[in-house]
Structures are given as structure tokens and as C-alpha cells.
Amino acid sequence: MFATTHWSVVLTAGRLDTPDAHLALTRLCEIYWYPLYCAIRRKGYPPEDAQDLTQAFFAKLLSRNQIALADPERGRFRTFLMRSMENFLRTQHRDATSQKRGGMVEIRSWDAHLAEEMYSAEPPDELSPEMLFDKQWAGTLLEEVMARLRREFTVSGKAELFEALESHLWGDETSLPYTQISQTLSMTVVAVRVTLHRLRQRFHGVLREEIANTVQAPVDVEHELRHLRGILAK
């Protein structure tokens, strides 16, 4: 959507004076509002309070100079979000969160009712707010990666091929056999295998790009990948 969504742009800009920096932070907030909402709900806040708190938090975060509090030495966006949210909740009072949701800032992808529907549909577990946030972060990240891949295939006129191959990325046992895909799409089995191999390579490439957007230093990409694998393995 934007020329850049890098967290490093936001950290470097500090006061959000540049259009790229503000767009980058807005984009990151749009992606991660639901993981944060889940964490707030898991802390015991009822739905309406959690909705108000989530919007009020992002309104404050998107205000001028708020981002200057970020520590470049701890430049992972998810870490910054959780630390900022904890500080925000500790300093908030009920009358401070009863304002119009979002304050002067609107997050375009925010849907308070949808947020609670999604949260209610989550399987029961004993995860802490922090662990639940990480779980939702991982899911959101993979959704962003798949959305990018889907758009790439659609633009090139291969949306049907992507739908046929998508489940093979996860080793889904219900995936269509290569022979059936080849017959349906008038391709050879070899061509299907080659395309899937390239899709897997592109998947890993896009995943690294999306993670790079949320860290300050390139060295943090590998750390986040290991963290992501650890979450998915649980």
C-alpha cells in the first residue's frame, strides 16, 4: 500500500514529521490492532472497555512525539507495542477511556464488533496476555504474507493456480493431488511441481520482508523468525 512500512522509518523519524513515517506507523497499527485487543481482553477487561482502550492506545501512539519514546536498541515493533500498552494501561483511568473511541485518530481496519466476534471464537486456552499477543501476532503475520502472495498471483492472472497450491504450503493432507491440479489447469505435473517450489521460495522471501518491516536492525530478522517458529510449534 505504501512505499515503505518499515518500523525503522518510524524510529528514525521520531516526531513523525515525514509522510512515510506516519504512513508506516499507521500501517503497522492496522495490522496489529487485533493481537493487542486480544491481550487487553485476556487481562480481564470486558469487551467495551477493551475496545475503548485499544482505540485510545492507538490514538495516543499515533499522536505527534509519542513514538519518540521508542528505544532503538529494542527495536522490535511487537516488543514496543506490548511495553507501550502495559505502560498505557497502568496510567489509564476509567474516565480517560470513556471518550469517543479512537480519539482524533481513526484506524481504518478497526471494527470493534468484529474484534469481539473473533476473540469469542478463539479456542479456550490458558495463555497469558503476552503469549496470546504473540500467538495472534504470528497468525496476523502469516495472513499478511499469504495476502501478498495471493495478490501477486491474481495480478498475473493465476489466482486459480494459487488457490490450488496454497494448501500445499502447509502440508495439508486434503490438498489436491498434483495430477488433479495439472488436469484442471491444463498444466503438466512437472510444471505444477516447479510452480509450487517457486511459491515456497517466494513465501519464505515475503515472510522475511514482512518481518524486516517490524524490526530496527537486519540482525533481528533471524531472531524473529526463530521466535515465530517457536510459537507455531506449540
113 inside domain: yes
Who contacts 99 (Cβ-Cβ below 8 Å, separation ≥6)? 52, 56
207 inside domain: yes
Q: What is the 3-state secondary structure (H, E, C) of 2-32?
A: CCCCCHHHHHHHCCCCCHHHHHHHHHHHHHH
Tens of pLDDT, residue by residue over 113-160, are 788 888 998 888 889 999 999 999 999 999 999 999 999 999 999 999
90 inside domain: yes
Angle at 75 between CA 43 and CA 208, to 5 degrees: 95
1 inside domain: no
Q: In angstroms, rounded to a whole number, what is the distance separating the alpha carbons of residues 143 and 45? A: 26
Q: Which of 6-15, 53-62, 71-80, 204-213 has the highest mean pLDDT?
A: 204-213
149 inside domain: yes
Per the structure, the complete domain to which residue 55 belongs is given by 7-233
Q: In angstroms, rounded to a whole number, what is the distance separating the alpha carbons of residues 136 and 160? A: 28
**Crossing angle (nearest 10°) for helices 19-42 and 77-91:** 60
Q: In angstroms, rounded to a whole number, what is the distance separating the alpha carbons of residues 53 and 42? A: 13
Asked if 96 and 55 touch (Cβ cutoff 8 Å), the reply is: no
86 inside domain: yes
**Whole-number pLDDT of residue 174:** 74
Burial class (CB in 10 A: 0-12, 13-18, 19+), 125: exposed
- Hunting for cell 501512539 — which residue is that? 61
Q: In angstroms, rounded to a whole number, what is the distance separating the alpha carbons of residues 107 and 31? A: 10
What is the count of structural domains for the chain? Answer: 1
36 inside domain: yes
Tens of pLDDT, residue by residue over 20-56, are 777 777 777 888 889 999 999 999 999 999 988 998 8
102 inside domain: yes
Find the helix or strand (DSSP H, E) in which 205 lies.
helix 189-212
Mean pLDDT computed over every residue of the chain:
83
* Residue from 151, 119, 136 nearest 44 by CA: 119
